[in-house]
A and B are shown apart, each in its own frame.
Chain A
């Protein structure tokens, strides 16, 4: 526990007491869900169901159901994969790196962000699986398992194999980290259920909390584990997207073969991840009335992260363009000329507008503290980041070395359906999470609630004064 200066702005407003925190967060788990939740769930499930049909059709008939062709072997599948993995990054960054940097403002957003990471990684992982021509064999042949096929082993040179390790490690660590954080909060819900006499809920949450008893030793261990896991997660924030970028960077295709990719991908991932966190939290905050926990201050800080990472991404785009010209290599030059002026120029310029220009609007304080503007821009950024991956993947390979093979890629309803499938999956999972799990880390938030009774009711004034 660190001491927080009394003059610091409170991170939780509304003069919340520790009990208020427990009550505000737990009641969403305890009360029956609102109609809006049912509606959202129904829509998510419908989208998920339609997506499942598309997935089935692709698995049953073959990858040809998608719009891929002899020249463009990856398009929406890997675009979506990279996009989802990127989105996941914000959760890890918030929970791990910001924890190490002792950024207390993260406390009220990390739970949801981590949940988002888990679901995003699950969504991401579906693409490398489904995109395989022979999923029924590929899902285990890509693992270095001892086998009876003779001396067959995986190819450790292949970046796709590195992906397998990177993503599975990332998923495992994120899941454990997230779950460990949930344990004390589950215990709170259990305790409240016991008080309220709800035996079923008490039993379920007791099991989920692994019988947490809240002793000082337990807390000490809990915090140590959290710190260790944060330490483990930190390199993952950088490594996962670095390795994903190797899929392209180690290839020989102009537009893919780019040494700038690792940092550029990581920045892009955090950029899109924060945008997605904002999109989700702005809704959650509204629906669950958590305005006191997720304040404008949080949103503003996240918007600043978006400016920084968005600018890094912008610089990367311009560097790529410059280097392609400066290198004097015809193929590199053409690849970028084709991005800017070719048949997919609309995708390139969508990307540029969404990713480079739109986040710069956050320099205006009015915009970065406006909920509506933030919400809109967070979606714009995610659209832009999707286009970034599409531009990198498709515009690079649709016209590479041998002009006779140049083609266009046209998505089919199954490409789109597959993407919708992950949306359905993601929102279904997120809605279940929002209903059954505490969406804010109560244990941590309680540590930043001001205990000084004098501050009760004064919070708002202080904050208004300082911000004015």
Chain B
């Protein structure tokens, strides 16, 4: 074999075999590895220097400091990212609610109702929901103050005790002024103080006084008390100017009970009938079946007339006076026909009127059924006479020491300016308010109390119904429980209020057994309730004297009367510095951040006032010698000749948020018949030539006769013809399968539809039980970190609320008269419609997003991926429900939102943010997520416990907040779920049980804009007004 002579070479170098190559051939690397090359070149030097200089320069740039401090030692029972819940009690003056506080990493972030309480039964209202943000109010006092300077508690105590001792020695009078004190332990602490300083008197007053009721009951039944009411037992409710769903009595409880009678579920066609006689359209009036417009001066006369009607039916003596109004006779007849299950309430604070109301209720046999005098409530213990007496005492220099215990009478008492002026002459003036408010800023000493979420306390809202409050956070500032202050000043040795409350409870309620478990149970439940012995009362009021008092005290005839009311947002103004409430659309007017005087449509027309786009003019209102300047807002339903203004505005020392909004109208409240009268028989209205624009979230007020938006029926129609519920609405949009077969739009689709193999989340909203209170709106804001954008941005129509309550007035125009339909009736019927993302199965927003930032989940949710959103706003344009909200600005960062968006712009405010929900950046779209974070948490829990998710385990924030149960959320795939049963859901196609098409067999169920085939996952239950068609 021939030798292979071929030479294989690795490269040209080997072939040429140059000396260079040979020299280096054995080396592994052609060049020395870099680390061995120690002599750096000039270029390397420059490179490194360049890098070094730029790195140092970059590092020197200020990077934002984010404070996140991890636990060094993990606290017991506290796992990061796992929420803890504490039962507690919301107390704000006499306002009460039993609550459950949700905390994350030691910060309260949400307040829910406590279902274990038989008083509030898990209900809340807007103020309760919003109160969690008041905890983080930037304008709170951070330490005690003496004569305007920060001091220490020791110094303050020394000074206060010295003063008190001095007063005591001289026999000077000491007064403790407060709103209603619900807490037995607090009263015990005050008693200790009183024991030490025997000249002390404790005076309670209420902003929204019910003193007249207590006095009337004293005359009628011998005890000055306010009874419990049970609206749930009432088939006929007549309210004369009592806004019992919002501001009168115990609104949360009333709402809860009232809703039970308004539930028009199947087989429950006998919903209650509700008559309302009132001047201003209140939330309660908006829910009434029959509403009559009266003037405030006629309240008494209406009650007299009603008394006479009932008395003549009962064959009793009538009294003189009275005035006839629409529906009055009808109301009387129905009350009489339903005696034993009827209820008459009046909002007036006049003893005389309330005596007559008692007389009516007595004739109707309401006592023991709808009115429970043996279970008195303690929400309103204020004594107008005592307070008036205090004012004259302090003015007359008879008082040496005043302690304002968590109250602000300089602002919220009609004679507040007198108190304020007199305070300089008082030797010791002190306020325990947690803010330097109008009163506190005039006192020498400030001994700030905790916020209620930081404090131990208890409450007795009703006889034998007790409630505990426990701190959900360590006090943020150097505040001290006012009770501890009282006990310190009383010279007690042990001033720990927690011990004090616990011992109180031990002494009063502990009946043996294990004390710790008794206490733990009380703490866990938050409430302790004991039965009250039933007892009957006999009416002994002097009705004819009352009638003549009414006749002499009320004169109508002035061109304008003034009604002063408490609205559903800022309420009495004590929480006015809370932007959640300021930006909450007032349930009726839908105005935010503004104070206004309401005028009737007729008077507005006469004065030439219109409100196009909420634009209006200022007017001067004069009543009882006080003048305020407010913009004018036209209010359908307001009686002609009446002006209405809300209390709660005109704060000057509430803080950055509330100061300067509107005018304080408390000084316009006068005394009539020994108690505060929230109206004026004569008011002057002077329109000014000064323009203003009110911020309203809704500027179109009628639903234009659109049956696909609102479906409402009269109970009579439904009784006569139940089919009307399903048959009355004929969709105008039709689709044809072929020439002969018309089908509903939506039955044919070019989409395949989704398959929801696991859950299919849905919601049902009952328009009949929704009272429009808007607690759900606040709850949604808090749960989902919704930005609050302030007045200017609301005027620009850019509020961010994910959930809104649309309030529609009826119109007198024909359905075809589109121009006429834009105007509301003079006394309109009102319907509230909570409107939120409908989570459409054929979502129009999803198809138009160019980047697929909004997509459909496998469980029926319409999801928004903020990170993917590029902000074209096409989805919002294409949303037929207009529920999508765009981040026009950087709400969490821009200076202009510091006032309104407290929760996202301040360090303290940020503590309230829900860590489970992203704070949205500018340029992205957002909307209701069905509280997807709560759904996920529920699913995870179930998964960890290796079980199926139970119905009711996942709730949305709005549902939890709803006192009336109008909102039901659940899995529509689960035939046993509450929502499936309520709506009587069944799959449209039995072969496709997990498909998008579910048919609701509940005849009241409908989906909004059914015609356009977007197939929402939210069903509404149509509204039934308990009206006789003939009289409507």
Task: Kindly provide the distance from the CB of A142 to the nearest chain B CB, expressed in whole angstroms.
Answer: 5
B884 CB to closest chain A CB (Å) equals 8
B502 an interface residue at 8 Å Cβ cutoff? no
Q: Which residues of the other chain, A, contact B925 by a CB distance below 8 angstroms?
A: 133
- The reply to whether B923 and A159 form a contact with Cβ atoms under 8 Å apart is no
The listed residue (A247, A253, A403) touching B808 by CB distance below 8 A is: A403
* B66 contacts A by Cβ under 8 Å: no
Whether A134 lies near B871 (C-beta < 8 A) is yes
B878 and A251: CB pair below 8 A? yes
How far apart are the CA atoms of A328 and B819 in the complex, in Å? 17
Binds A, one of B285-293, B592-600, B757-765, B791-799: B791-799
Q: Does B352 belong to the interface (CB within 8 Å)?
A: no
Q: Which of A319-364 contact B (CB under 8 A)?
A: 328-330, 333-334, 337-338, 341
Number of residue pairs A-B, CB distance < 8 angstroms: 176
Of the candidates A153, A252, A402, the one whose C-beta lies within 8 Å of that of B806 is A402
Shortest Cβ distance from A225 into chain B, in angstroms? 33
Answer whether residue A231 sits at the interface, using C-beta atoms and an 8 A cutoff: no
Residues of B within 8 A of A247 (CB): 874
In the complex where A252-B880, A401-B880 touch, is A159 in contact with B871 (Cβ < 8 A)?
no
Interface residues of B in 212-248 (CB under 8 A from A): none
Q: Pick the contact of B732 from A138, A157, A253, A328 — CB < 8 Å?
A: A328
Checking B797, B818, B871 against A69 with a beta-carbon cut-off of 8 angstroms, the contacting residue is: B797
> In the bound complex, how far is the Cα of B645 from the Cα of A436, in angstroms?
70
Contact A158 B848 (CB under 8 A): yes
Distance, CA A435 to CA B761, complexed state (A): 65
The B-contacting residues of A in range 263-294, CB under 8 angstroms, are: none
Given A141-B870, A142-B851, A158-B874, decide whether A401 and B1009 contact each other with a Cβ distance below 8 A.
yes
Could you say which of A73, A135, A157 contacts B877, with CB atoms under 8 Å apart? A73
B contact residues around A64 at 8 Å (CB): 793, 796, 798, 888-889
> What 0/1 pattern do residues 847 to 888 of B give for CB contact below 8 A with A?
111111000000000000000111111101110111011111
Stretch of B411-419, B654-662, B696-704 that contacts chain A: B696-704
Chain B interface category by residue count: 35 or more
A407: Cβ under 8 A from any B Cβ: yes
CA distance A64 to B796 in the complex (A): 9
Chain B residues near A71 (CB-CB < 8 A): 797, 882
Question: Is the Cβ of B871 less than 8 Å from the Cβ of A133?
Answer: yes
Given contacts A133-B887, A400-B880, A402-B880, A252 and B844 within 8 Å (CB-CB):
yes
How far, in whole Å, are A328 and B1008 apart by their CA atoms in the complex? 19
A69, A138, A152, A154, most chain B CB atoms within 10 A: A69
* B908 CB-CB contact with A under 8 Å: no
Docked CA distance A141–B894 (Å): 26
Q: Does B939 contact A (CB under 8 A)?
A: no
| Contact between chains at B886 and A63 (CB < 8 Å) | yes
User: Is residue A2 within 8 Å, beta carbon to beta carbon, of the partner chain?
Assistant: no
- Whole-angstrom distance between the alpha carbons of A63 and B873 in the complex? 11
Choose one: A154, A161, A253, A329; the contact of B733 (CB below 8 Å): A329
- Cα distance A329–B877 in the bound complex, in angstroms: 20
Nearest CB in chain A to that of B894: its residue: A61
Kindly state the separation between the CA atoms of A465 and B576 in the bound complex, as whole angstroms. Answer: 86
The answer to whether B882 and A137 touch across the interface, beta carbons within 8 angstroms, is no
CA distance A247 to B871 in the complex (A): 16
* A19 contacts chain B at the CB level, 8 A cutoff: no
> Nearest Cβ in chain A — how far from B904, in angstroms?
15
Q: Within the assembled complex, what's the spacing in Å between the Cα atoms of A154 and B885?
A: 22
The verdict on A211 contacting chain B, using a C-beta distance below 8 Å, is no
CA distance A405 to B698 in the complex (A): 6
Contact B807–A73 (Cβ < 8 Å): no
Bound: A444/B785 CA distance, A: 66
Supposing A154-B852, A402-B806 touch, asked if A133 and B877 sit within 8 A by C-beta, the answer is: no
| Contact, CB under 8 Å: B851 / A141 | yes
Is residue A413 contacting chain B, with contact meaning CB distance below 8 A?
no
How far is the CB of B448 from the nearest CB of chain A, in Å? 38
**Quick check: is A67 within 8 A (CB to CB) of the other chain?**
yes
Least distance between B882 CB and chain A CB atoms (Å): 4
Q: How far is the CB of B1008 from chain A (nearest CB, A)?
A: 8
**Is A132 an interface residue, CB under 8 A from the partner?**
yes
User: Is the CB of B319 closer than 8 A to any CB of chain A?
Assistant: no
Chain A residues contacting B884 (CB-CB under 8 Å) are 70
- The docked-state distance in angstroms from the alpha carbon of A155 to that of B889 is 26
In the assembled complex, A397 has its CB within 8 A of some CB on chain B: yes
By beta carbon, the residue of chain A nearest B819 is A341
Contact A253:B880 (CB < 8 A) given known A157-B847, A330-B706: yes
Chain B residues near A68 (CB-CB < 8 A)? 873, 886, 888
Across the interface, do B923 and A63 meet the contact criterion of CB distance under 8 Å? yes
How far does the Cβ of B707 sit from chain A's closest Cβ, in whole Å? 9
3 shortest interchain CB distances as A-B pairs: A133-B871, A133-B923, A64-B888
Known interface pairs A70-B885, A251-B878, A328-B732; 14 further A-B residue pairs with C-beta atoms within 8 A, sorted by A's residue number = A63-B923, A64-B889, A132-B870, A132-B872, A135-B870, A142-B850, A142-B870, A160-B848, A160-B874, A161-B850, A251-B848, A253-B878, A401-B880, A401-B1012
For this complex, 24 residue pairs linking A to B, each with C-beta atoms less than 8 Å apart, are: A62-B887, A62-B888, A63-B886, A64-B796, A69-B798, A70-B798, A71-B882, A133-B925, A138-B871, A141-B851, A142-B850, A155-B852, A251-B848, A252-B844, A252-B1014, A328-B732, A341-B819, A401-B706, A401-B882, A401-B1009, A404-B700, A405-B698, A407-B797, A408-B699
Residues of A at under 8 Å CB distance from B?
A: 61-64, 67-71, 73-74, 128, 131-135, 137-138, 141-142, 152-155, 157-161, 164, 247, 250-253, 328-330, 333-334, 337-338, 341, 397, 399-408
